[in-house]
Amino acid sequence: MRRAERTRRSGILLHPTSLPGESGIGDFGPWAYRFADFLAEGGMQLWQILPLGPPGAGHSPYQAYSSIACNPLLLSLETLAERGWLPPDSLRAAETYPESAVDFERVIPRKLGLVARAAEAFRHSPSDPLRGEFLQFCDRHRFWLDPFARFAALRALNGNAAWTGWTVGAPASEQDILDQKFIQFELFREWGLLRRYCAGRGIALVGDLPIFVAHDSADVWANPELFDLDGRGLPRAVAGVPPDYFSETGQCWGNPLYRWDEMERTGYRWWVERLRVLLEQVDVIRIDHFRGFEKYWEIPAGSPTAAGGRWVAGPGSRFFEAMERALGPLPFIAEDLGYITPEVEALRDAWRFPGMRVLQFAFGDEAADNPHKPFNFARNSVAYTGTHDNDTTAGWFEGMDRPGAAVEIERALRYMGVGAEGAAWGLVRTLFASVADTVVIPMQDALCLGSGARMNTPATVGGNWGWRLRGDQMTPELAERLRALNRIYGRLPEGPAGGQA
């Protein structure tokens, strides 16, 4: 029997909003292409992102008001000007923005105002060369685009309030709906161009699929029969997780739960279309909270914490069988962190989905069988120093003297004279040296940045999702340092481009 070939590869986790740029937030414009070049120069083969949807509460990409649509803030103003939809002088900001963080309160009104101007310009240009492509996009994506565009237009009419509280009864104008469709068309077009560029540089894109969707979303508004809602359209129970590493009382996410029986009755059509679109955008999909397909944590609506919830059976393999029949082979990564049972592991392994391993979880548990210890890594896994929910590795190390932290490793490293930066890079090197086929590091860890660069702190509201990379941090020296790790540990792309025989 011929031995299956294995590919050792590495990647960087960086959400597009974290890219540099002059408009105060990262987007699909020139800096995204420069980042792709940086990845290629470093011998990295993966660019992992967070969900691309339009964020709702707290600017979280995991609470988007559509599970399929893209975030309008990701549109490149430079590209809109090049197409003639914005005057060149509109790119000059009236004020400067922080380089290392997104000032959402200032960025959102200015950028969305310019996006609206571009949509209006396209609407008044019937002979625009992209008109035919736009109409084809609208027809191909009718299933989700029509309800989303209407929802987004109505949401704007109601001051962006949650749909259960809408008071403006007038229907959205066809003009407003058309503008919303154009915005999505241009977002998908720009992302498609970027994806093709990445592919040309040997970089695959890893997307993110939250298992649950926000209650205030086009998905729930347009398909209430698929969700467990009461007569007022409010959730009867919500999603979350029991007490874990991140929170002693668990996490209450607030997402409505699915009516899996109704989903199955429809052949999981909503899921099929959701995944079909995502597979047009990325090469690999990380399934956030994979364990929810085996059992999910049901919390009674209105509960102050997640501690009083209960486990309820999910659809299990029936779901993945339906997805495979409709979409073919499933390029999934199973986010199998937290409380994982043998049943969850069996579901993951039955489908041969790689699981996740996180080095920051290796040191607080002295048990020899801790799966996050490097000597326990499986080859078929994706290993991280930390995720978007962790502190940066340098920040995590610096905070190890807090009560309850793994002080034994902190003392050992300090005894050896290793500071926070050395510890962070040491764990990066440990990751690359591991047997895991795939390793991914947050860009903050490649830069050995402290806690000020943290992307998200679970179970907190405000102050998250805003970190940004500065352009001068993508240095040739850092690219060479990453390339050296890839070369030493057999993770460079094969062939002339990677320099590996």
Catalytic residues: 288, 335, 389
Decide: 440 and 382 in contact? Cβ < 8 Å. yes
Beta carbons within 8 Å of 414's beta carbon, 6+ residues apart: none
Decide: 33 and 484 in contact? Cβ < 8 Å. no
SS3 content of the chain, % helix, strand, coil (to 5): 45, 15, 45
Q: 3-state class of 200 per DSSP?
A: helix
Beta carbons within 8 Å of 134's beta carbon, 6+ residues apart: 122, 128, 181, 182, 185
Decide: 296 and 228 in contact? Cβ < 8 Å. no
Instruction: Report how far residue 319's alpha carbon sits from residue 98's, in angstroms, rounded to the nearest whole number.
Output: 44
**Burial of 348: CB neighbours in 10 Å, binned 0-12, 13-18, 19+:** buried
Question: Closest Cα partner for 465 from 113, 29, 16?
Answer: 16
Decide: 287 and 278 in contact? Cβ < 8 Å. no
Pairing between strand 355-358 and 295-300?
unpaired
Tell me, what amino acid is at 160?
N
**Burial of 387: CB neighbours in 10 Å, binned 0-12, 13-18, 19+:** buried
E-strand stretches of 211-290? 237-241, 251-256, 284-288
Instruction: Report how far residue 465's alpha carbon sits from residue 104's, in angstroms, rounded to the nearest whole number.
Output: 10
Question: Closest Cα partner for 201 from 43, 315, 410?
Answer: 43
Beta carbons within 8 Å of 12's beta carbon, 6+ residues apart: 39, 42, 44, 46, 47, 48, 440, 441, 442, 443, 446
